[in-house]
Amino acid sequence: MFKVINENLENHQTDALIIGLFEENKESQSYYQLLNDKFNGHLDELVQSGDISNKEGSVSKVHTLGLIEAKRLYFVGLGKRDAKTVHTVRNTFGKVFKQLAESGVAQASIQLNSIVSGEDQADYVEAIAEAMAMAPHQLQTYHTDRAEESVDLANVKFLTDQSQGVVEAANTGYALGNGANIARHLVNLPGNLLTASDLAAFAENIASKHDIEIEVFDHEKIKAYGMGALLAVNQGSDEPPRFIVMKYQGKDTWEDPVAIVGKGITFDTGGYSLKPKDGIIGMKMDMGGAASVIGAMDAICHIKPKENIMALIPATDNMISHTAYKPDDVIVTMSGKTVEVRNTDAEGRLAMADAVTYARQNGAAKIVDVATLTGGVVVALGDQVTGAMTNNEKWLGEIQEASEQVNEPIWQLPYLDVYKKQVRKSHIADLNNSPGRKAHAVMAGAFVGAFAEDTPWVHLDIAGTAMAEGEHDLGPKGPTGVMARTLAKTMMNVK
C-alpha cells in the first residue's frame, strides 16, 4: 500500500500529486517554484485569484492539463511554517483524502519534503496515514437505494530523499486509523444486529485474523466465575451475556499483562430506572468502550508492541422484564463485595466491576477501562475531551502522553477519599451503585476504582467523545472510535 521513491515531480506519474504550501514566500519553496515553471507561471495567477491557498487547512485542486505527468495537483495549505503541528497536518490531510475518495482517485503521491523533513518526519507520516484510513470512512447504512461506496486508495507513494522509517510509520498510522474505524463500525450497528453474542463473534474474527488467543465465556461460565454484577444487569434480557477475553503476547512469557477493559452494554434502556424517550435514542452506542478495545486490539496486532495485553469485555444489554434486576436489590460481585442497587441505569459500572476484578485476579500489572459511563462527564467536559480518573499518576501520564500524540485529549477528574467513601455508603451492602446526581461522573469512576484496589488503574469516560454531532476532518457524523488509537499508542510507547 505504501512506497517510498525519490523521483522528479514533473516526470512522476500518478492520479494525484500532493504538495505542501506554507504562507511564507512561495518563491522560496522549491517544489512550488519547480511546478510554477512547468505551468509557465500560471500557478502564481491561481494563488493571486485565491484558487490556490496556503492558509492552514485549505486544500486546492488543480488539473495539470498534461503539463506534467501527474493528472491532478493538490496543494495543501499548511499556514505558517513555525506553527505547523502533527495535528494540523493530520486534520488537513483528512480533507485531502476525503476529496480523493469523492473523486474516485485510486493512487496518490505525496511530496513529503514539501511538508516536513528531519527527525520528526515519521511522526507526520504516521499522522497522514491515520487520516488516510479515518477521513474517508463511511458508516454502514441500511437504505435500499444507498449509493455505491467510494473508491479506496489502492496505494500511496511518498516522494522523499529521506526514506528511513517512512513505510513503517505509514503502516503504523494506517493500523491506528483502521482500529478507530473498526470501533466506529461496531458502535454504528443497531442493537438488534449487535447482541452480546454478535460482539463476541466479531472479536473472535479479529483474534482469528491475527492468530491470538481468545476465550468467550457463556452464561454458565460467567456464573461459575461468580460474576454476579454482570449477571444482574443481564437478568431482564432474552439475549445471553458474554464475557470476552482476548490475549496478545508481545513478550517471551505471559506475565504482568496490561488489561484494557471495555464496557459492552449493547443497548441500554436504563432498566426499571427507565430512560426518558429522548434519552433512550442512541443507546446502541453504550458499547463504545468495548468497540474501542476491539479496535485497539486489531491495531496492536498489526503494530506488534513488546507488551502483554489482555482485553476484557463484559457484554450484555440492559432490558426490562419480569426477571430484571430492580432498585433495592443487593448483588454479589465477582470480588465478593456486595452492592446495593439504587439505580438500574447505573449498570455499566456493575459490569465493569466484574471485569476489573477478573483483570486483578488474572495478574494484570496495570488496568485501563474505557466506558460510555455517564451523562455527567458530558456536562462537565462536553464532547471534545474524555474524562479520566486514576489511582496512579504515572500510569495516567503514560496514557495521557499517547492521547496527546493522536490528539484525543483527556482531562483528569478528582479521585479523592471523600468520593471513595460516598460509593461505600449503604446501610445494607459494601457499596451502592449510585450515590446521587452530584459529581455523577466522579462517583461512577470511584465505584469502578473500588474494584481496582491497589492495582494501577485509569478510568476513561467517553460518553461525550464517542459520538460526533457532525462531519469533521477525520470522519463522518456519528461514532468517532475514540480511544482506540490512544490505547494502541500507549502500548507502542512501552519501552
The model's pLDDT over 174-229, given as tens digits with 9 standing for 90+, comes to: 999 999 999 999 999 999 999 999 999 999 999 999 999 999 999 999 999 999 99
DSSP helix/strand/coil, 245: strand
* Model pLDDT, residue 478: 98
Tally the domains of the chain: 2
Q: Where are the alpha helices (DSSP H) in 453-493?
A: 484-492
Residue 134 sits in the same domain as residue 184: no
Same domain, yes or no, for 114 and 56?
A: yes
Say how far apart CA 347 and CA 274 lie, in whole Å. 12
Percent of the chain past pLDDT 70, that is, above it, reads 98
pLDDT at position 163 is: 86
- 399 has pLDDT over 90: yes
Enumerate the β-bridge partners of residue 431: 339
Q: How many CB atoms lie within 10 A of CB 20?
A: 25
Opening angle at CA 282, ends 292 and 432, nearest 5:
75
Structural domain includes residue 115 = yes
Taking residues 374-401, what's their average pLDDT?
97
- Residue 170 in domain: no
Q: How confident is the model at residue 117 (pLDDT cuts 50, 70, 90)?
A: confident
pLDDT tens-digit map of 304-335: 999 999 999 999 999 999 999 999 999 999 99
Model pLDDT, residue 228:
98
**Residue ranges at the known binding site:** 263, 268, 286, 345, 347
- 151 and 184 share one domain: no
Residue 140: count other Cβ atoms within 10 Å of its Cβ. Answer: 12
The answer to whether residue 313 sits within a structural domain is yes
The identity of residue 153, as a single letter, is L
The pLDDT score that the predictor gives to residue 1 is 85
Query: Do 15 and 85 fall into the same domain?
Result: yes
If asked whether residues 284 and 430 sit together in one domain, one would say yes
pLDDT score at 288: 98
- CATH for 141: 3.40.220.10
Residue 411 sits in the same domain as residue 270: yes
End-to-end CA, the chain: 28
For helices 288-303 and 196-210, angle between their N-to-C axes, nearest 10 degrees:
10
Query: Which of 119-128, 302-311, 424-433 shows the lowest per-residue confidence on average (mean pLDDT)?
Result: 119-128
Which is it for strands 338-340 and 330-332: parallel, antiparallel or unpaired? antiparallel
Cell triple for 472 = 469533521
Are 193 and 295 within one domain? yes
Residue 434 and residue 371: Cα distance in Å, rounded?
16
Q: Are residues 86 and 182 in the same domain?
A: no
Q: Which of 134, 160, 186 is the last residue of a domain?
A: 160
Supply the DSSP string of 269-329, one letter for each residue: --TTSPPPHHHHTTGGGGGHHHHHHHHHHHHHHHH--SSEEEEEEEEEEE--STTS--TT-
Q: What was the pLDDT predicted at 26?
A: 67
| pLDDT surpasses 80 at 152 | no
Residue 130 has pLDDT above 70, yes or no: yes
Do both 216 and 273 map to the same domain? yes
Do residues 149 and 201 both lie within one domain? no
End position of a domain, from candidates 112, 137, 160: 160
The answer to whether the CB of 128 falls within 8 A of the CB of 18 is no
pLDDT at 379 over 70: yes
Domain range for 441 is 175-492
CA distance 111 to 21: 11
Q: Are the C-beta atoms of residues 423 and 450 closer than 8 Å to each other?
A: yes
Neighbours of 490 (CB within 10 A): 29
Same domain, 46 and 119: yes
Average pLDDT, whole number, for the chain? 95
Beta bridge partners of 494: none
Q: Is residue 168 part of a domain?
A: no
Indicate whether 402 and 450 sit together in one domain. yes
Which residues does the annotation mark as catalytic? 275, 349
* Residue 270 pLDDT exceeds 70: yes
Look at residue 301 and tell me if it is in a domain. Answer: yes
Question: How far is the CA of 250 from the CAs of 177, 292, 481, in angstroms?
Answer: 21, 20, 24
Question: Does the CA dihedral 406-479-195-211 come out positive or negative?
Answer: negative
Q: Are 258 and 307 in contact (CB under 8 A)?
A: yes
- Under the banding of pLDDT at 50, 70 and 90, the label for residue 495 is low
Measured distance CA(423)–CA(429) in Å, rounded: 11
Say if residues 292 and 182 touch (Cβ distance below 8 Å).
no
Amino acid identity of residue 209, one-letter, is K
Give pLDDT, residue 24: 79
Does residue 297 lie in a domain region? yes
Cα 98 to Cα 317: distance, rounded to the nearest angstrom: 35
CATH of the domain at 446: 3.40.630.10
In the listed set 133, 160, 187, which residue is the last one of a domain according to the structure? 160
Evaluate whether 9 touches 113 at the Cβ level (below 8 Å).
no
**Among 424, 468, 429, 466, CA closest to 446:** 424
153-162, 230-239, 271-280, 411-420: range with lowest mean pLDDT = 153-162
Q: In which band, very low, low, confident or very high, does the pLDDT at 162 lie, cut at 50, 70 and 90?
A: confident
Q: CB–CB of 200/315 below 8 Å?
A: yes
Evaluate whether residue 154 is within a structural domain. yes
Residue 131 lies in a domain: yes
- Inter-helix orientation angle 42-49/30-38, to 10°: 110
Binding residues for Mn(2+): 263, 268, 286, 345, 347
pLDDT at site 151: 59
| Count of beta carbons in the 10 Å neighbourhood of residue 466 | 28
